[in-house]
Amino acid sequence: MPRPLSGGAGGKTTAMYRLAEEAAARGLRVCVTTTTRIWRPGEERRVLLLERRAEELKGKCLPGQVLTAGVPAEPGKLKGLSPEETAGLLEFCDLLLIEADGSKRLPFKVPAAWEPVILKEARAVVAVAGLAALGKPAGEVCFRKEQAERAFGIRPEEPVTPRLMARVLADENGQRKGVGQREYRILLNQADSESGLLLACETAACLRQMGERHCAVSGLYEGQRRFWQVETA
C-alpha cells in the first residue's frame, strides 16, 4: 500500500522531490501533491492540472516517473484537492508524497493552530528544519514567530540553538503536532560545511536526549547534495 509522507519547513520541497526521484528509479508510480499550496515545478517535471476529482490521475501516473498533481491556484502555485479526493489519489499511484505545510521560505517554523494539514490516511510524517536558522534571532528565521513565543516562550531576539531547534522538532506543539501514532522522521537540512555538520550532530544529540530515534542530515556539501543518516536510537 502507498505510504504518504508529509513534510515540514527549511528545504522540504527539495527533499520531497529527491525522495520521489529515488522511488521512481525503483520503478514505482510516484505522485507529488499538497494539502495546502506548493510552487508549481518547472518544465523539467511532469505536472497534471486537476479540477476536483482524484480519478483524473487514472492512467497518468506511470511506473518510473514522478508526477506533480494539483489544482491551479494563484500565479505559479498549485493547491490540493479536498482531503477525501486527495486520499483517493492513493488508488492510482504506488507512493504519494504530500507537502502539508509552508514556511514562507524561512528555515524554521512553529505551526499555527490549523497546521500542518496531515491527511488522516498518512502513515508517516517527515519534519524538515533548516540549519541556517541556528545562531540567528528567532524573529528573523522563524515563521509564525508569535506562535513560537506563545507555545514555547521563544522571544524574537533569542538566538535559535541546537537544543531549541530540537525541542520544537520533538514537541507535540511543534513539528510533532498531529503526528499521533504515525512513523515520524526528522531531516536537518542545509549542512553545507564542516561547521554545519557539527551543528547537525549537536542538534541530533539533543533530539536523542528527547527520545527521537530517527534523524537524517542533508546539504550541498563540497558541491554535491549529500544525505547522512544519523543514528539517534
| pLDDT confidence of residue 2 | 47
| pLDDT confidence of residue 213 | 86
- Model pLDDT for residues 20-42, shown as the tens digit of each residue: 999 999 999 999 999 999 999 99
| pLDDT confidence of residue 12 | 83
Please state, in angstroms and rounded to a whole number, the distance separating the CA atoms of residues 154 and 18: 32
> Most distant CA pair in the chain: distance in Å?
52
- Please report, for the chain, how many H helices and E strands are present, in that order: 6, 13
| pLDDT confidence of residue 1 | 41
Please state, in angstroms and rounded to a whole number, the distance separating the CA atoms of residues 200 and 215: 10
Beta bridge partners, 108, equal 142
Annotation: CATH topology of 5-231 = Rossmann fold (3.40.50)
Burial class (CB in 10 A: 0-12, 13-18, 19+), 92: buried
Length of the chain: 233
Please state, in angstroms and rounded to a whole number, the distance separating the CA atoms of residues 133 and 145: 13
Please state, in angstroms and rounded to a whole number, the distance separating the CA atoms of residues 139 and 186: 23
* Grid cell for residue 29: 508510480
- Model pLDDT for residues 210-231, shown as the tens digit of each residue: 999 899 998 877 777 777 767 5
Opening angle at CA 73, ends 67 and 76, nearest 5 = 70
Which pTM does this prediction carry? 0.88
- Alpha-helical runs (H) found in the chain: 12-25, 83-88, 138-141, 145-152, 162-170, 194-209
Q: Specify whether the CB–CB gap between 204 and 191 falls below 8 A.
A: no
Domain ranges of the chain: 5-231
Q: What are phi and psi of 134, to 5 degrees?
A: -65, 135
| pLDDT confidence of residue 200 | 93
pLDDT lower than 50: segments of the chain: 1-9
How far, in Å, are 11, 76, 176 from residue 42 at the CA level? 17, 10, 31
DSSP state of 89: G
